[in-house]
Structure 1
Amino acid sequence: MKLNLNIQPLNTWLNVNNEPLIISGPCSAETEEQLLTTAHLLAATGKVSVLRAGIWKPRTRPGEFEGIGSIGLEWLKRAKAETGLPTAVEVANAKHVEEALAAGVDILWIGARSTVNPFTVQEIADALRGHDVPVLIKNPVNPDLQLWIGAIERINGAGITKIGAIHRGFSSFEKSSFRNEPMWELAIQLKTLCPELPIINDPSHICGNRELIPYISQKALDLDMQGLMIESHVDPSVAWTDAKQQVTPATLSELVDRLTVREPESTNEAFVDKLADLRKNIDKIDDILLQKLAERMAIVEKIGEFKRDNQVTILQVNRWDAIIKKGHAFAKALKLDLNFTEKFLELMHGESIRKQTEIMNAGKAEKGIAAEQHTEVKA
């Protein structure tokens, strides 16, 4: 089901200097000189459309640098006056909203630590009511699509129609090369539910280190995201926060030059016809796959009944190990990605366990009902 949101197209409320849209600036506004120097260098690239800077910083532990505070808004105002770049800051409560709007900030964004809390988002939404300002909403820290959607709906419900989402990755307990796991599927689901919603990727927070930013940036554009928010500092080596994930304005310019911007559609008839033929083939294969899955699940049900009748547990670890081992070997021979293959097998195995559990429980329920009925008759 599509989301029922009232959202204005990005190009009606933001002037993009060049494609792709680039929002850039320091993780934190540290000093007036640092912010102004960075802003001028970014503006000189001709590739940045919006200057961002953290003024208020939600930190994990007390005692860490929590942002320069309200004085930074004056620095942003001066940076805008000198460079012509519109400005953007993160807000986390009603007071932040009021101060940012009073200082003439052009775009507000809601951070991941705020999106996770509906009370916080509602407070911000209430403070925004009656104002006409663009708001970007980062995904929550945890991989919860409904929280992300809920935050967007709350802001839209306050009358804000200039809305965008920021995909900055999600926390995970698994070891990873990334600071935050991209979990692209969640951003894709959001885009599917609300095609008109602009989604901007934040490779800085996904990567946690500058070396991976080009790769994530290109992938985001290839997934039809509308822009990138990349942190930039005049000298990242001395940055007060997130030094490893910030790039210099010069590096940012080079990075953007190397990106390939592709169109979501093509008007080339030969391309369209060829693509349609290829997709027909995929559709046929998908139909076969689904038919085979249905056949597999029918056998799973028989196995569940057989195990139930013979008092055998659903899970046999040795069998699962054999499936994985065989799957890896087969995938390797077919040149399939091992990670994808394992996830696919895990999904099938999980569904098999669910079906067999249902059969086991259904059997017990039937016996329980019969026993109760027998007792009632005897009584």
Structure 2
Amino acid sequence: MFASAGNRANAMLSAASFRKLLFSRSFSSSSRTSETLNPLPATFLRGGTSKGIFINRDHLPSDRSAWDRIFLGIMGSPDPVHGRQLNGMGGGVSSLSKICVVGTPSLAQQSQGIQVEYTFVQVGIRDTSIDYSGNCGNLSSIIGAYALDEGICCDPTTTLDGSRITIRSFNTNTQKIIDTTFPVSNALVPVLDLPETSIAGVPGDASQIVMDFVNPGGARTGKLLPTDHPIDSLTSPNVSVSLVDATNPTVFIRADELSSFLPLSDYLKHIPTEVPQVLESIRQRGAVKMGLDPLAQAQPKIAILSAPNTSDDHAQSVDIVVHALSMGVLHKAVPMTVGLCLGVAANIPGTIAWDIVSESRQNRQSGDSKLVRIRHPSGTVDVGAELSPDGHVKSAKVVRTGRRLMKGVVWW
């Protein structure tokens, strides 16, 4: 039986009443433990080549064991048959199945100049996996802007020249500090739509966001080179890898070595082959050597490296070419934490990245540059790394852009 129009009207809140009910609620510590709104206030943002849901930490339960169910519902996971996450905000690929929980830093963190704290969440697509082990470099680029927009950024008054601001954030996953510098208005509102720069994989120009990962070495393992070696040997299959932990731990392997026993060229053209199982085996063996859980798909990443070989590579002074995987899927753009890790690895003598970059620059007779130009499937990106004479990584930098997409509520 259908309800009358009058009954339906009485049963529904007006849009204005709904917004008032939703956003006027008090989220004290006590209320957080007893209830979580559904729908939940949220913002949908692009950061670099990823998109994600951003949530104020105060709007979630204080008991983190209750988070997983909420995040799976938001993203529409699990979707074991179709893998499209049509019941949620996910997009069927790992770069679109991400959440950032952002909040005010502790008093101890504030005393260190940290202005915002965040936790990155990688949500499984076909299964119920929720991974907190790593960080997302792309979404990290928009944390400062979100914190300013939401009024949860501590002491946001310091600007560089009146038109740009640097926000210092703390990532709980890796226990690392990331500074982001971006344009603001006179009222300290982030300005993200200036035609300043473009990045590969994203159409159009936008405001430049400079990311600086402070002391990024040992993000997960505590050591830049977890095995103390720039090259390690794995068995079954027998391959050489570089295991580097900067911003996120990554297993680097040469494409020409893989091509000796795998149909790699077909795989990199997205022609279905049996390559993924072999790469996952290599990734898991690398994880064991790094002291990480081999069954955690999000960490470490695995990246296939090769020398620049096309006329366009040479014309653009490309130093190295990378194809990266995340959550078992070949990416159309390099995950930025992998790109940053690669930039650091290229500055460590003896690694696979160091060898390829050195040979590339020698062949084109170019001098050493502080920036490493990386070619990935969507274009190029320049990554900078600063190392001290003793090999300590002081910082790793990259330019990103971001955009506000939607602000409102999300059902879970």
TM-score where L is the length of structure 2: 0.27
Q: Which has the higher strand share?
A: 2
Question: Going by fraction, where is helix more abundant, 1 or 2?
Answer: 1
Return the TM-score normalized by structure 1.
0.29
Structure ranking higher on relative contact order (CA contacts 8 Å, 6+ apart) = 2
